[in-house]
């Protein structure tokens, strides 16, 4: 499955548009990671625990979007966007969306 942020794919022709597809997940931090992050905040540097958490959330949301596109008969998703929103103090939503298409 091809996934691109542009509305076209070089060398490919879109022959059918299926429509909007999306995938999302909501992830919450946990106390163990918060303690480690607090220490990193004092010392400075990247907070790897949160980077890993958000990376896993993005991958899960993308996988869910692709499952939906595949079930529609698509072999590509164009105009893909990723959005993050704050849900509550310790949780965020990752939303991935795009247009499912058939290319040849």
Per-residue model confidence as pLDDT tens digits over 6-63: 999 999 999 999 999 999 999 886 666 666 666 666 777 777 777 888 899 999 999 9
Question: Which of 81, 94, 68 is CA-nearest to residue 1?
Answer: 68
**Which pLDDT belongs to residue 67?**
98
The pTM of this model reads 0.85
Say which CATH number the domain at 45 has. 3.30.110.70
Mean pLDDT confidence for 68-95 = 93
Domain with 63, as residue range(s), is 2-103
Mean pLDDT confidence for 77-87 = 94
Concatenated DSSP letters of 34-89: HHHHHHHHHH-S--HHHHHHHHHHHHHHHHHHHHHHHHHT-SEEEEEEEEEEEEET
């Amino acid at each position: 499955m091809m996934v691109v942020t542009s509305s076209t794919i070089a060398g490919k022709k879109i022959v059918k548009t299926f429509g909007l597809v999306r995938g999302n997940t909501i992830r919450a931090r946990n106390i163990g990671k918060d303690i480690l992050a607090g220490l990193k905040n004092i010392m400075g540097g990247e907070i790897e625990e949160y980077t890993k958490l958000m990376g896993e959330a993005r991958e899960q949301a993308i996988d869910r979007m692709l499952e939906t596109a595949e079930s529609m008969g698509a072999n590509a998703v164009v105009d893909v966007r990723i959005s993050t929103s704050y849900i509550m103090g310790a949780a965020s939503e990752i939303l991935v969306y795009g247009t499912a298409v058939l290319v040849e």
